[in-house]
Amino acid sequence: MSSSLKSLFAALLLLCTAQAAQAQAKVKVKAKGPATEQLQLKTSAVCDMCKARLEKALAYEKGVQQATLDVPTQMLTVAYRPDKTSPAALRTAVQRTGYDADDQPAEPRAYDRLPDCCKKTNAIHTGTE
Instruction: Show pLDDT as tens, one digit a residue, over the chain (129 residues).
Output: 577 777 767 666 666 665 655 544 444 444 456 688 999 999 999 999 999 999 999 999 999 999 999 999 999 999 999 999 999 999 999 999 999 999 999 999 999 999 999 988 765 654 555
Compute, in degrees rounded to 10, the torsion defined by CA atoms 51, 70, 90, 65.
-90
Quote the pTM value. 0.69
Domain spans, the chain: 37-115
| The CATH number of the domain covering residues in 37-115 | 3.30.70.100
